[in-house]
Amino acid sequence: MADADPMPPDENRGPEILAICGSLVGIALVTVVLRMFVRVKMIGHIGADDWAIVAAMTVMFVEMMIIIPQVHYGAGRHVQYIHPPSNVVTGLHLNFVTQPLCLIGLCLTKVSVGLFLLRLTPSQKFRYFVIGTIVFTVLSSTGNFLTVFFQCRPLALTWDSSVPGECIPPANLKFAAFFNSSVAVLTDVVFALLPIPILWNVQMNWRVKSAVAGILSLGVFAAVSAIVKITFLTNYGKHGDFLWDSADLTIWYVP
């Protein structure tokens, strides 16, 4: 008789998830508050891009508030050590709730960057390109959103395997995840590099121009994050230990 599979070590990545996600959300919140302070008190004008980033920050903050109880119910731990077993279902349910929130938050962030670029460029050619990228981003995010909500029928089967029903084959879901992540990398790179040609002919002090281009080009980090997420997708669900497998995805999706 073959030996049973050995028990995995009793590791808990919950504190790591909370520390990293909480720190990043905190930094983002401070940044957005400072931005709005400058726009209201010093400039006296709030644009559509500002409202979009406030909406994105609100969504990401709500997501963080869901990640906290998600960790309490087992996120970052192997299923064998989560007690009682009902906590696994609750943890997976909370994990599911964070998925559409993350998609909405990331989409709104990119839309905010696009709207900001529209205010910078006088070139009609660049304006059309930015608008096209914004539309493409929204459509791509909508596709991701629909994939999340239609992966299982009934939807409850997504987090509770005892519910009768059927889901999209895992291979198809993984292909969709890889495709959607690749699209995210593309839009991140576009928004990261687009400020350089846009600002090239803008009339402003070269120091200010360099600073603005540098800040906007931090979007390269978002592209790198998206690439890292793709590498973690290969292991998600590999062992049926979803709350453990999703730890890295949770950490890298929040930024």
Average pLDDT over residues 232-249: 77
Distance CA 56, CA 102 (A): 9
- Does 190 have pLDDT greater than 60? yes
**Does residue 113 form part of some domain?**
yes
Average pLDDT over residues 237-243: 73
**Does residue 119 form part of some domain?**
yes
**Does residue 4 form part of some domain?**
no
Average pLDDT over residues 55-79: 95
Count of structural domains within the chain: 1
Residue partners of 49: CB distance under 8 A and separation at least 6: 112, 113, 114, 115, 116, 118, 119
**Does residue 34 form part of some domain?**
yes
- Does 121 have pLDDT greater than 50? yes
Strand partners for 77: 12
DSSP annotation of 152: E
Domain hosting residue 63, numbered range: 14-253
**Does residue 206 form part of some domain?**
yes
Nearest by Cα to 98 from 128, 129, 53, 68: 68
**Does residue 171 form part of some domain?**
yes
152 phi and psi angles, rounded to 5 deg:
-140, 150
Average pLDDT, the chain: 86
